[in-house]
Structure 1
Amino acid sequence: MKMSGLLNRRSQDLAGVVGTVRRIEPGTPVPKRLGAKDVAVLDLNRAPVETARALVEAEVAAVVHVPAPGEEMLPRAAFRTLAASTVPVIEDADLADVADGTRVRIDDGVIYSVKSEDELAGGREVGAATLLAEVDSAEKNYVESALAHLANATEFLSLEHPLLLDGEGLPEIDVDFTDRHVVVVTGDASSRAQLAELKPFIREYRPLLVGVDGGAELLRSTRVTADVVVATPTEVSDEVLTDGAVLVVPADRDGRAEGLEKITELGVGATTFPAAATARDMALLLAYHGGAEMIVVTGDDRGLENAFRPASAPSSTMVDTTVSSRLVHAHACATLYRSRGSGIGLALIVLAALVAVGAVVVARDAAQDLLLWAIETWNSFALWVQGLVH
């Protein structure tokens, strides 16, 4: 007997379900060919109910819920849809090191390699009743977190509404934001990839660059010079502080700021910003009240999935609302820029085609006919390009 046949029979004899790992990233559709021989691995906290329905219809072998590190369950309808089905749902299984396409066997929540029978991850299979109870608990926790967060945000508003509405208390710095594009780079884990996506945008528009805490280190590591750094001096390197950027040091409302001794030792100038806000929020307010035309910010988005997490600052809820008319998330900006670039590329291709057609016309028609054709075609082409750009 061939070895492959022996392995297949052995896998079939063992308990549990067997399938191929298929990772589904947030915001991407369920693969059309997904079926009973696949194990769907995804973050159900980011999955719409349509994704869950597609998984049920595909009759996948199992669904493995892999949330972001440290993230609790959200009361998403996707969980309820799966609870009402016969598809096994596995939780608490760390599949970070398991590649897409790996053949696995799942028995009692534990995930094994079909090839070696090694244990890849220890999880737990949750039944319908348990899953529904978890969702009910998540819903209660979510609402309680939201109420506490909004209460703190309201308190921040009562303290800082002069700053939010009129910019009272903003430090005066030697940077002119008026009618400029501004990119605020935070120290969030997602900022590095987003900054890479923004490089074409930065090259063309030459925006003012503001590094916030670890975001200032990130800019320096990518050999990009920050115009402004908003950071606690002890949280960034000496090189960041001495690179020539305008330094803004966050301070408490009473004016106390951490790390000013380091600034003094390095012999560089800095301005303190007293406010009950985060460094990120201070950067946004500096750009907004400074007259920036558009503010692009990197980092985790502040949708409902993230808005009420313990790590989400209540001040950011009010600051983001204040600057919302000019605020664009980095991923959205990069996506729009790519679309614009694609349109211009297409326009150049069409122009080249028009030139080729013109050459044919030269060979066949009289000069007067060519001139009329060229004027007419160019006018239509120019109007079309204007539509792409605007």
Structure 2
Amino acid sequence: MLFSHGLPVRKRVCHGSAAVDRQTKRLIHRVRPGQIAVINHRDLDEVAAEGLIKKKVGGVVNAAPSIGGTYPARGAGLLLEAGIPLLEDTGSEVLEKIEEGDGLCIHRDRLYHKQAGTWVEVARGRRLDRTRWQQKVEEATDHLDETLESFVANTLDYAHRERFLISRQLPIPSLITKMQGRDVVIVVRGGGYERDLRMLRPYLREANPVLVGVDGGADALLECGFRPDLILGDMDSVSDQALLAGSELVVHAYPDGRAPGLKRVERLGLAAHLIPCPGTSEDVAMLMADQEGARLIVAVGSHSHVIDFLEKGRRGMSSTLLTRIKVGPKLVDARGVHRLYSGSKKLPIREVAGLIVASAFPILALTTVNPRLFYMAKLMWLNVKILFSWV
């Protein structure tokens, strides 16, 4: 038996090998089903949680609080809904004590590490359950007004500083991908982005728009069966597979020209353009599409409200506010389109039966009053009986 050192059967929670990384979005690319993800992610966001669920992790150990208290972060609730054990607030030391591939066990509020065949306690935290999660959500909601005040103040302050985003042109290099007069679809790793992208498949096939993947959005396009024409971002959450897919690459650099993501691209032997600009990469993608003459800009998974930005660690949304003011009516935000129409493939039996009866009624009525239709129907019925040897 795997557990043989003082852990009663009725108290076992989950066990598996460790996948360790301080950055959840980086860990998601390599974690395997059944592993225990060891992360340091304060206010676990929706996209990170969905990524862990999709990878079918066996459990999650979070060195930080999954809901810090300033706003109701959504990730922990999604893990609980998926039935994934979550041990949180163990302290950052746990990432130093555990190495990739180590055997782990989450047992109540404690984390055990297998050393030389013996289970040794390595950290203590708080096992999150639905009751505690609901309590933390209520506490965070109580502090949300204060957080919103600070968020609005930061947004207005930075909007004044970054107002040139509206008045000036982006320093866009000469791109191979042409957007003039075409629809441009910009895919971002926001909440529900994969479901929205699947709903847009018919449009993508028929309209043949320019496809822009913003960092991890490029992987979403590939998983949906589409190759992005262009990948833009700081290149920290896109996979090597996506970068090597043959798309044109644009690295989003800081305003002073620093571009940490360029080193990764060059290590893969690839070339990339640089666009120095403040704000988020999705803002840059929208501004670029607008400036390049796109007829329509469709945003999938974009970040558009306060919780989105707080989950991204941003205390304001000035660049997004300015971007949407500039792009204006060209922009169609497709986020949440999967909730608009579920696309059920099966009709309920009751509705089908009702449709058949409703369709048959006028036919029966006509055969009753019209002798020709009556004899025709009688002849057809006789042929059916002969065909199936009923006579």
Per the normalisation by structure 1, the TM-score is 0.49
Q: Which has the higher contact order (CA 8 A, sep 6+)?
A: 2
TM-score by length of 2: 0.49
Which structure has the highest helix share of the two?
1
